[in-house]
Amino acid sequence: MQADGVLLTGFGGPDCPDAVGPFMRNLTGREPDPVVVERVRARYERIGGCSPLAATAVELARLVEQVLGDRGRAVPVSVGMRYWRPTIAEAIEELAVRGCRCLAHVSLSPLEAGVTHERYREAIEAAVRSHAGVRVCEGPSLSQLEVYPRLHAEALAAALSELGERRVLVAFTAHSLPIEDGRIDDAYVRAFRSVCDAVAAAAGMPAGTDLALGGHDAWGRLDCDTPWVACYQSRGARGSSWLGPDVDDVIDAARGLGVSGFVVAPVGFALDHMETLYDVDVEIRSSAERAGLAFARSSVPNAHPALAEGIADVVARMGCGEG
């Protein structure tokens, strides 16, 4: 059965300052510390008071729906967030009411990880139990789409041009994950390194190789015209070990690499949210500038028409098996 509805899923984020506490409660499963809530609220205030994630996802959904319609497929596209509104359950309810029975699920988190994709799947399974006859098929990660590294490479070229003739170090970033009991999410690390290589290739840069940086085993190329390294950002506050090198480790190491510019290319993100608009644009920028480095950040795809085309291409090939 060919997909007759599309579900785009994401992590979610507060849509107004008063939603910060409830969002954190949904995320952690407990009442958050008021001091922490105020600190997080202040960060959202720095980026306009809310997360743009859901609104951008809805804009992208409308573009995907339009592309499919232009191709002769009247397929509704709905957005569901794991930890805030619109929820995954609400999105599936909307599609079910519109008569959809085979939903093509595309995650807006580009890299497969338990903390994102597995949580989305759990919410989908719970919601589908309330809708007899509704089935869900899952598409590939966004990072696997041909268009994804191309869009990031185009954005990287624009960011590099901002810094002119400076010798620049490029930091490809993804969200760090905790290392649980010595276990690393190898699939996540492999996917991240793969998309870094794909973006580098699309930008005319060499593929990565193993290297040591900031006391960590890393991936990248320092022996080229535009040196680059894969690193992690937005490490959590909990005391366990996290994937590294952290972007701050890379900034520290940059001083010995003969560069005067620092470009962050957040290839582990498809849409803007706190991790790009505050963690990169405010905190990482500040760290780089304190180190005497000129700074630029490449944009993420957001609701780019080419990304909508790529998602529509995937949806056109998806369907739910019988039985």
Given this model, what pLDDT does residue 323 score? 43
Clarify whether residues 81 and 214 are in a common domain: no
Q: Can you name the residues that pair with 242 across neighbouring β-strands?
A: 178
Kindly report the number of other CB atoms within 10 A of residue 97's CB atom: 10
Q: Is the domain of 120 the same as that of 172?
A: no
Same domain, 151 and 292: yes
Asked whether residue 270 carries a pLDDT value surpassing 50, the answer given is yes
Distance of CA 207 to the CA centre of its chain: 22
Judge whether 322 lies within some domain. Answer: no
Dump pLDDT digits (tens) for 278-302. 999 999 999 999 999 999 999 999 9
Rounded mean pLDDT, 190-209: 97
**Mean pLDDT over residues 251-262, rounded?**
92
Smallest Cα–Cα separation from 270: which of 50, 11, 48?
11
Whether 29 and 135 map to the same domain: the answer is yes
Place of tokens 């390194």: 193
- Looking at the fold, whether 165 and 291 belong to one and the same domain comes out as yes
**Helix 53-70, helix 305-316: angle, nearest 10:** 60
Residue 321 within any structural domain of the chain? no
Angle at 111 (CA atoms; ends 120, 48), nearest 5 degrees: 75
Note whether residue 42 is domain-resident. yes
Does the residue 323 lie in any domain? no
- One domain for residues 137 and 124: yes
Instruction: Give me the pLDDT at residue 68, please.
Output: 97
We report the CATH number of the domain holding residue 31 as 3.40.50.1400
Task: Give the model's confidence band at 180: pLDDT under 50 very low, under 70 low, under 90 confident, else very high.
Answer: confident
Summarize pLDDT for 205-243 with one digit per residue, the tens. 999 999 998 788 999 999 999 999 999 999 987 767 899
Domain that holds residue 122: 5-143+303-316
User: What's the total number of domains in the chain?
Assistant: 2
Say if residue 157 is in the same domain as residue 293. yes
